[in-house]
A and B are shown apart, each in its own frame.
Chain A
């Protein structure tokens, strides 16, 4: 039925099967949309957030998807600026995943604010000293860049490409893509960093607060670094999941391994920096506020020292070692394990930098604040996942996302 839209030389599932798949994801999407509308019309009392937890699940999801979406800017940087040409075989997908992550992040922010209709105040009445202002500006601009990077792919659809204007537009955009990629890398550096700064500058919250250089706390650089390091792993993970679902090899192993190797070195260097930061914070910064390391990890039902071990050792050092060693990268199971751990790593980091910051008592006569999300929060957090599945499905079906697909899956 829709064969005229499907790229030449590749096989896609029958329309009914595709419709069924989209229907299933669409149902989840609708559930999320319903919860989103509840939050917009009834207010944030639909959530389990409270005055101790002004930031909760959504802000975590926001920070996590942006960190994972960092694969787009870093792969773009490697492909267009550093000149790693092999990565052209995965850049389309990295861009698409980034596009989904960033559009999701913007949507979550629009739900998260108490007065969504005043959302534009952050631009119009911008306080340039606030990390959140920097986040909003860079995020929106970079989302624009990602759209520009994604559009040429849409224009490559078989039918759209027939229109001479669109064909030429797509070609022109490809020609100067390096300029957009460079701008994107510049913007990404600042918004990934400013997201790190969000908790790093909170000098009233000793768990999140870090010293730094000039106006930027160390978390500014750590967030950028970890996003660049772990983002590509998320690109690899989603590629592997897509290959599993479609039952096809879509990207050659050497491309995956190249990206994994770079990612491995980035994670390795990041985790060294993270350990130094943690050590300095535990030895100098926190004690200056009268708190010792274990004050942050005891006397509560959830946050034990295990979470620090999970973040740094299990989801940091281990994947770094696997991805740096050639043997590790060549072993499919080890590679997969490392990629999964490297994806969990920044998620745990963002979790503690958002939720544990809120949970830790600062006044001596207050106790730990615990929180669990309401179903409306869970549904609106899953909403972007469903939206991502749908957008990936449509893109995969109708656009030449994987340049190597035809070569890897010759028609018999």
Chain B
């Protein structure tokens, strides 16, 4: 039905994150939370029940000084395409109520908040821990509700949420293009909040299928890798690093295995 309407070539939005540029400042996380009305608790020290659509991990190579090295790794939802890009991402196929969907048009894995009934099967399925459950009702400090983004619905207690690649921005860009009589949007018209917030320019966002977008070439770099590629989840977030140990940290290897 939807596929018939769409005459355009399918897009595959994705990210390339240069880990050698990332300083771990956390601006992307803050931008993400503000942009998407992500709720927070008074005490956010327990990372296992606080919501961070984009989370920065700190990786170390485990070596003593002077060889010690660290790397910060921002992890949004990987928007997995699944084996053969059929949209069988780990979470989509398991959702019993069709509350999460893979868009063939954009490659974005959506979460339908009003449809989700909170069984958390998708969270069990996601190896990246990119999905978060609303254990509490969102409570905003007095007056802060005025600063909520009107383009993103707030979520209620008891449902799962996750990074949407700022899908509302895509919708706004499409609306604008339509209003101006264009079918296609420019690369810079649709950028995620984290991409724009990164002071180091470590995050690059665009259509992985479009040769005119920066990500198209970047993802082909010899230093590019994706997280847990061996599981055949087929993520759309690529990472770049010139450091061998960082690239190796992206996946599991047997002890005697050479990459």
Contacts and interface: CB of A to CB of B under 8 A. Distances in A.
Question: Do A and B come into direct contact in the complex, CB within 8 Å?
Answer: yes
Interface of A: 43-45, 49-55, 112-116, 118-119, 121-122, 125-127, 129-133, 136, 198-199, 201-206, 287-292, 295, 357-358, 362-366, 369
Contacts of B230: 288-290
Interface of B: 46, 48-49, 57-59, 73, 90, 93-99, 115-121, 123-129, 131-137, 156-160, 227-228, 230-233, 249-255, 257
Contacts of B58: 365
B118 A202 contact: no
B118 A55 contact: no
Given A127-B96, A204-B90, A115 B117 contact: yes
Given A43-B136, A115-B116, A127-B95, 11 more contacts: A43-B157, A44-B133, A114-B119, A118-B117, A121-B97, A125-B115, A126-B97, A127-B97, A201-B93, A287-B254, A362-B228
Given A131-B94, A290-B230, A290-B252, A54 B158 contact: no
Contact of A51 (B116, B133, B254): B133
Given A122-B96, A125-B97, A52 B129 contact: yes
B129 A203 contact: no
Nearest to B119: A113
Contact of B254 (A113, A131, A292, A364): A292
27 contacts: A43-B157, A50-B48, A51-B131, A51-B132, A54-B133, A114-B157, A115-B156, A115-B159, A116-B117, A118-B97, A118-B118, A119-B117, A122-B96, A126-B96, A126-B97, A127-B93, A132-B94, A132-B96, A132-B119, A201-B93, A202-B125, A289-B230, A289-B231, A289-B252, A290-B252, A291-B254, A358-B124
Contact of A291 (B117, B131, B156, B252): B252
A114 B161 CA distance: 12
Looking at chain B's contact residues, the main secondary structure is loop
Given A43-B135, A51-B132, A114 B249 contact: no
Nearest to A290: B252
A51 B96 contact: no
B86 to A, nearest CB: 11
A358 to B, nearest CB: 7
Contacts of B253: 290
A116 B59 CA distance: 39
Contacts of B99: 121, 125
A55 B115 contact: no
Contacts of A199: 124
Nearest to A198: B121
Looking at chain A's contact residues, the main secondary structure is loop
Contacts of B59: 365
Contacts of A369: 48
B227 A50 contact: no
B8 to A, nearest CB: 27
Contact of B115 (A121, A198, A358): A121
A114 B120 contact: yes
B174 to A, nearest CB: 26
B96 A204 contact: no
Contact of B124 (A54, A127, A291): A54
Contact of A112 (B48, B97, B119, B251): B119
Given A114-B134, A365-B57, A130 B96 contact: yes
Nearest to B133: A51
Contacts of A52: 48, 129
Contacts of A112: 119
A220 B205 CA distance: 40
B158 A205 contact: no
Nearest to B128: A363
A410 to B, nearest CB: 53
A114 B95 contact: no
Nearest to A202: B125
A362 B127 contact: yes
B96 to A, nearest CB: 4
B93 A130 contact: yes
Contacts of B251: 290, 364
A358 B120 CA distance: 12
A54 B120 contact: yes
A52 B231 CA distance: 19
Contact of B126 (A129, A198, A204, A290): A204
A288 B136 CA distance: 39
B152 to A, nearest CB: 19
A365 B231 contact: no
Nearest to B41: A45
Nearest to B50: A51
B46 to A, nearest CB: 7
B136 A115 contact: no
Contacts of A122: 96-97, 117, 119
Contacts of B233: 203-204
A203 B158 contact: no
Contacts of A115: 116-118, 156, 158-159
Contacts of A364: 249-252
Given A114-B158, A289-B231, A45 B135 contact: yes
Contacts of B96: 122, 126-127, 130, 132-133, 136
| Max chain A C-beta neighbours (<10 A), residue from B117, B137, B232, B253 | B117
A350 B227 CA distance: 29
Contacts of A121: 97, 99, 115, 117
Contacts of B255: 292
| Max chain A C-beta neighbours (<10 A), residue from B59, B125, B136 | B125
Contacts of B46: 50
| Max chain B C-beta neighbours (<10 A), residue from A55, A201, A203, A369 | A203
Contacts of A118: 97, 116-118
